[in-house]
Amino acid sequence: MTQMTVAPEMQALAMAGLNNAGQGLTQLLGTEVTLEVDRMALAPVLELDELAWAPEADVTGIYIGYAGDLTGHCLLCLDGDNPDILAHLFLGDTDDQELVDSALLEAGNIIVSWLINGIADRGGWKIAVTPPALARDMLGALVNTILAVASVESEELLAVCVRFKAGDSGLTGTIMLMPDAESLRILSRGGGAQ
């Protein structure tokens, strides 16, 4: 992957959002959540398909766009038993798939909203998230769908991949944050809406 250095200002903003998301998840789930950045890359859009660390893995993805002073895409990915674990943490035991999907959408909405709000607060921006959408597919297909849309808007993206773990629940997941080209320019200034 042709990577460029991610400016310290961008890193600080991304970390502020991630720390906020970690606090939100901890409050939401009632158990300590740890976040670990797997990758923070500024790279050409068409090379970011490498974000799909296991392209053929079946995942549940919750996609949320965001717009305002910053615009971009966010994808929360849960593989294996993780969607069931997250739904169980919200609902307890249930076999109602519609209820499970609703809980996953709400969880994704909360996680991404906390992340985006953390960035917005740190940078002094106004940013709103779109309603969440849920898809079950191979990870590579979900990532490539987002990148196909992003490639129309931008030649390069900042992609932040974060793994999170919720206490002893066994819950792990990945958050992919991808602001668009204009948002990259704004992020490189480190804050202050223009």
pLDDT tens profile 86-114: 888 888 888 889 999 998 998 888 888 98
Residue span of the structural domain in which 131 resides: 8-188
Q: Residue 133's pLDDT is what?
A: 93
- Distance CA(112)–CA(114), nearest Å, equals 5
Q: How many domains does the chain have?
A: 1
DSSP 8-state class, residue 62: E
The reported pTM is 0.80
Distance of CA 191 to the CA centre of its chain: 20
Q: Which two tokens stand for residue 82?
A: 């993780």
- 34 found inside a domain: yes
* Rounded Cα distance, 53 and 173, in Å: 13
CA 14: distance to chain centroid?
A: 11
Contact status, residue 34 vs residue 19, Cβ threshold 8 Å: no
36 lies in a domain? Answer: yes
Locate 168 and state its tokens. Answer: 């002893």
pLDDT of residue 194: 42
* Residue of 7 and 121 predicted with greater confidence: 121
CATH number of the domain residue 37 falls in: 3.40.1550.10
Per the CB < 8 A criterion, the answer to whether 174 and 77 are in contact is: yes
**Is residue 152 in a domain?**
yes
CB 32 within 8 A of CB 26: yes
**Hey, what are 156's tokens?**
């390069």
Q: Would residue 77 count as lying in a domain?
A: yes
Please state, rounded to an integer, the average pLDDT across all residues of the chain. 81
